[in-house]
Amino acid sequence: MRKMTATCAALVSAAAFTAHADDQVFVGSPQGTVYVADSDTGEFTYFACFCFGPIVSIQPLGSDLLIGDSFGTVWTIDGQTSNTVDAVWVASGMLDMAINGDELLVVSQEGELIRAALDTGATIETFETPASATSVVVFDGTIYVGGTDGSIHSKNESESEWTAFGQMNSAVKTLGVRSDALIAADNTGQAKIIDWEGIGDDSYYVTTDTIDAGSTGNLNLFTQAPGAVHAFDADSLELVDTWTLPVPASAIFVRPGNICKADTNRNGTLEAGDLSAWIAAYNRGDFIADQNNDLNVTPTDFTAWVNNYNNGCE
């Protein structure tokens, strides 16, 4: 994919508004089913069933969704119809999974971090990690791995060694991303927001039932094992809503909705920062970069972003 750079800031002008993100929130269950809700209502409906579980990770790939289960299978399903497109097997007892370019990063039940080919699932390499791994995410080409000792380390393509990024009180339960920060939760139910410079806030309690974390921009979302999603205000970190599912909950993934997509960093304000957020999202193929809503991220989405921005949001 052609890389975009920040040279077009003059095209945008300032505006302010309050937006409903209208995001789609996908939650996988321990039984292998996937439910989806609109972030405005939090009412979940059935989306897909693999009937193997637990589902440990849901990730976007173009217009498709990749669903990883604990048997080590990564399913590719159509993001609209939920039809199964492909399936590959990576590692038994998979704990977590992320996409890095054309590769999968998988945490095995032994706490190893495995690089595998996206199209075949074949192992390429097992990474040495500073601690036994529990969770992995990728953001803007950097890998973040959580460990059983509570440590979070990062590494990008140009680095040969892991760098200490953050520290939780106990084993890292899950890592999630929002545009400005990493969201981490540990086994004692404490969560922490750590910006991309590695500056963390004081941890706050979200419950020991927390399985996975996601973000709509204005909300930090945590799936709760008994079948709920707790929605916390992204700024105040107050619990503002609890959305219930008809099944227990495990992995979570948020697909940005089509309302006011020009607010690319999803903070409710149109500003210059949305351009750099769009460029970063474009370069990692994120759904939020898809400004013309054709479920693909292509260079034409830049023109669409400028148009969306200039049209403003209500």
Nearer CB in complex with Ca ion: 17/46: 17
CA angle 32, 37, 39 (to 5 degrees): 140
Q: Any contact of residue 301 with Ca ion (CB under 5 A)?
A: yes
CA angle 130, 71, 139 (to 5 degrees): 45
Nearer CB in complex with Ca ion: 186/274: 274
Q: Which residue's beta carbon is nearest to the bound Ca ion?
A: 290
Residue 102 beta carbon to Ca ion: minimum distance, rounded to whole angstroms = 20
Number of residues engaging Ca ion in binding (CB under 5 A) = 10
Select from 47-55, 113-121, 239-247, 269-277 the region that touches Ca ion (CB under 5 A): 269-277
Q: Which amino acid is at 53?
A: G
Select from 79-87, 157-165, 201-209, 259-267 the region that touches Ca ion (CB under 5 A): 259-267
From 23, 186, 212, 263, residue interacting with Ca ion (rule: CB under 5 A): 263
Using DSSP, state whether 283 is helix, strand or coil: helix
Select from 54-62, 88-96, 205-213, 270-278 the region that touches Ca ion (CB under 5 A): 270-278
Using DSSP, state whether 147 is helix, strand or coil: strand
* Helix (H) or strand (E) segment spanning residue 107: strand 103-107
Residue 15 beta carbon to Ca ion: minimum distance, rounded to whole angstroms = 10
Distances (CA, A) of 210 to 71, 186, 301: 21, 8, 35
Site string for Ca ion, 271-300 (x = CB under 5 A): ---x---------------x-x-x-x----
List, in sequence order, every residue forming a beta bridge with 185; answer none if it has no partner: 174, 191
Check if the beta carbon of residue 58 is closer than 8 Å to that of residue 34. yes
According to DSSP, residue 130 is labeled S
| Residues near Ca ion, by CB under 5 A | 263, 265, 267, 269, 274, 290, 292, 294, 296, 301
